[in-house]
Amino acid sequence: MTDVFIMIFSTLGAIFILIAALGIYRMPDFYSRLSVTVKAATVGIGFILGAVALHFADFSVTTKVFAIIFFLFITSPVAAFLITRTAYMNGTKLWIKTLFDDLKDKNKTEGDKKETEKHDSRYD
C-alpha cells in the first residue's frame, strides 16, 4: 500500500515540475514565468520529498524531509518576491496586455521623491 502512495506522490511531483517547465516556455513575460515556476516547482518538489519520506520510513530521514519541505515553502515565495521586485525596480518590462500595474506609483525611491520635491519647489 505504501508503494502506491510513493508512486502517486512521485507522479504528482513530476507533473507539477513538468507544469513549471511548460510555464517557462508558455508564459508571456518574466513575472508570469517566475510566478508559475516557483509555485509549481515548490509543490512538485514537496510531493517528491513526500515520496522520499514514505520510501525511507526512518525517523531521521522523515524529519529531515519535513524540515526541507517547511523551509522550502517558507523561503520560495519570499525569494520569488524579492527577485520580482528587483526586476521591476531595474525596469523589466511588463507584458503588453497587462491590465494593472499596482507598483507604478508605490515604487518611488527616496532619491526619486527628493528629486521630485526639488524639481517642484524650484518652479513655485
- Cα–Cα distances in angstroms (integers) from residue 2 to residues 7, 54, 56, in the given order: 9, 7, 11
Mean of pLDDT values over 76-88: 91
How many whole angstroms separate alpha carbon 52 and alpha carbon 85? Answer: 34
Predicted confidence band at 107 (pLDDT cuts at 50, 70, 90)? low
pTM of the model: 0.76
